[in-house]
Amino acid sequence: YGTSRINARGHLEIGGCDVVELAQTYGTPLVIYDEEYIRRRCQAFVQAFKDKGMQAQVAYASKAFSSIAICQLIEEEGLSLDVVSGGELYTALKAGFPPERIHFHGNNKSIQELKMGLETGIGCFVVDNFTELAHLHALAEACQQKVKILLRITPGIEAHTHEYITTGQEDSKFGFDLNSGQAFEALKQALSQPYYHVLGLHAHIGSQIFDTAAFQLVIQRLAQFVQEASKKLGWQISVLNLGGGFGIRYTAEDTPLLPQEYVYALCDSVHKEWQTLRQPLPEIWIEPGRSIVGEAGTTVYTIGAFKEVPGVRQYISVDGGMSDNLRVALYQAKYEACVANRMTEDNSEVYTVAGKLCETGDILIWDLPLPRVKEGDLLAVFCTGAYGYSMANNYNRIPRPAVVMVRDGEAHLIIRRETYGDLIRNDIPLMSKITQK
Ligand code: LLP
């Protein structure tokens, strides 16, 4: 993965940094991001559109991992940013991210969040439903500010890794339904509203997608819709946002395409459909999250307790778990791992890696072949960069881990480890106890 290798000491090294030393310096659990890798992925997506001569915006979906430093890096690479909450927007703005390159998503943006987007001058709102369509326009009108929007469409296509399914009318909380005529009605309404500039359409069909067939189907459906809209409403689309969802390799079972393979397929498909439409090509926007940061992240834990269930299983416990990686408990996600300080030793054992949280389901990896390990060894779990830290929580009052970014032998702390003090920062003692003092 990325710039990781085994160094002369037999340790795992990422971005030129010895992982054992990083663990000593910053403690564990520690999330390590390979900066070079993130930049390469950003550049691959951007370059692929250039190769195809397509006007495009690549927006990093910051829900995958949001922090000031990552927003700054994404900004430097020239990408746009997709935010889904006031909190993600706040983070981006604090990072100095240019508001005009920010897109605001979400199926229940509050009035306060809509105002925040308007006041800070973000580039575009992806309007999800009729409630938002009414609220946002009223707010735009009140401040006499024309606002750029995309309409989120539910195309009735859902991609599930390898296969995709199409349902007549998709049952989803997101977006305007295409097949029932809702999408057309929304577009009609939006076009009749003077403070809206309807740039285009958006569709996101799922995550961790390994092939391009579902994307092609969506483009086909949206092209039909665009044709209908142009005939009946005289509307011309400028932006087609195809969402994110490009897959990554968590384990050897996963077979993702390269960023450029996804992009080429999208571009070819848009070209093909638009040829029959005889309309100017829209700009293509995409919103990769996982495929930018997922494989760039590694979480390092210290191995603590051992337990053997004789004849059944050997458990090793680590100093984190579902508090820093909820994906295993939530989606039965699979990960690969190794022992960062024993990289040259052969696997002789099979361990099940347990987290330290009070839940039977807090298992990070089942039946993992590893060298024989000792208390204090370091377990490095790969591919934790997307939806790991961003879904971290304080269950059992466990502080969130520290996050470092490594490159060319240098490490930079980008998120401090939470302290116990942080955990009680918002706690308010009982009045009776305060007055007693
Ligand atoms: N755009 C929209 C509208 C989305 O809903 C999402 C993800 C993305 C872009 C980015 O998708 P990506 O490229 O990262 O697959 N917590 C789950 C993933 C939830 C994804 C939600 N939406 C996980 O850990 O697998």
CATH number of the domain that 328 lies in? 2.40.37.10
Among 115, 106, 107, which residue's Cα sits nearest to residue 88?
Answer: 106
How much distance in Å is there from the Cα of 102 to the middle of ligand 1?
Answer: 17
Q: Are residues 90 and 167 in the same domain?
A: yes
How much distance in Å is there from the Cα of 245 to the middle of ligand 1?
Answer: 6
> Where residue 437 falls among pLDDT bands split at 50, 70, 90?
low
Q: Report the catalytic residues.
A: 358
Question: For ligand 1, what atom is nearest to the CA of residue 243?
Answer: 1
Which of 210, 287, 390 maximizes ligand 1 atoms within 8 Å of its Cβ, making it the mutation to test the pocket? 287
Q: What is the pLDDT of residue 168?
A: 53
Q: Is the CB of 221 under 6 A from ligand 1?
A: no
Q: Is the CB of 407 under 6 A from ligand 1?
A: no
**CATH code for the domain of 100:** 3.20.20.10
Question: For ligand 1, what atom is nearest to the CA of residue 390?
Answer: 16
Q: Are residues 231 and 302 in the same domain?
A: no
Last residue of a domain, one of 264, 293, 322: 293
> Where residue 261 falls among pLDDT bands split at 50, 70, 90?
very high
Q: What percent of the chain is predicted at pLDDT more than 70?
A: 97
Last residue of a domain, one of 239, 260, 293: 293
Q: Is the CB of 105 under 6 A from ligand 1?
A: yes
Q: Are residues 255 and 130 in the same domain?
A: yes
Q: Max alpha carbon distance in the chain (Å)?
A: 78
> Where residue 1 falls among pLDDT bands split at 50, 70, 90?
low
How much distance in Å is there from the Cα of 164 to the middle of ligand 1?
Answer: 16
The pair of structure tokens assigned to 279 is: 């309309």
pTM for the full predicted model: 0.97
Q: Which domain holds residue 348?
A: 5-33+296-423
- Reported ipTM: the value is 0.99
pLDDT tens-digit map of 19-75: 999 999 999 999 999 999 999 999 999 999 999 999 999 999 999 999 999 999 999
Q: Is the CB of 262 under 6 A from ligand 1?
A: no
Number of domains in the chain: 2
